[in-house]
Amino acid sequence: MAFDYDLDFDNTDFRKKPEKYRVGRGEQGVLLVEPYKSEILPHWRFKTPDIAKESSEKIYELFEEYKKVDDFAGMDMARKFIQMGYTRARRYANYKGGKKYDDEGKINERDIDEEKAESARIFEEKWKVVRTDEEYLKKKKAHQKKYG
């Protein structure tokens, strides 16, 4: 089932109402779903490889904490933030200032920033770990079967 952008995100606690949570595709809803956004976002950084390493490890710790308490929505949100760490760092690695398109909508020329590329690689490694975690995959399947 697709991510439902029509939900009342301002007044929904997805920890208390996990039945309202939808996985969606990729990073959908990553900056909307509370209380997870507020718990994870302060740790999400990728400016340098050292910062990316600290950030990805902290978010992975949160993933593991959510797993311990059987909180699939939290696990999936941590996965989304880790994935977004990879995709955003890659965007900044490929395009100066992270701007893929110019003012006319044309794709800017790539200008590889090796430091950001390393940050992306760090997040990508954690993303591979979480997206293939057996317990995560079982919980994802069960959640989707039960709630859509």
Beta-carbon-side half-sphere exposure of residue 1 (alpha carbons within 13 Å):
16
Q: Write down how long the chain is.
A: 148
Give the pTM: 0.93
Label residue 30 exposed, middle or buried (CB < 10 Å: 0-12, 13-18, 19+). Answer: buried
pLDDT in tens, 62-109: 999 999 999 999 999 999 999 999 999 999 999 988 999 999 999 999
Distance CA 80, CA 25 (A): 10
Instruction: Categorize the per-residue pLDDT at 148 as very low, low, confident or very high, splitting at 50, 70 and 90.
Output: confident
pLDDT (0 to 100) of residue 124: 98
The one-letter amino acid code at 16 reads: K
Residue 101: beta bridge partners?
A: 107
Distance CA 4, CA 48 (A): 34
Is-cis flag, bond preceding 49, omega within 30?
Answer: no
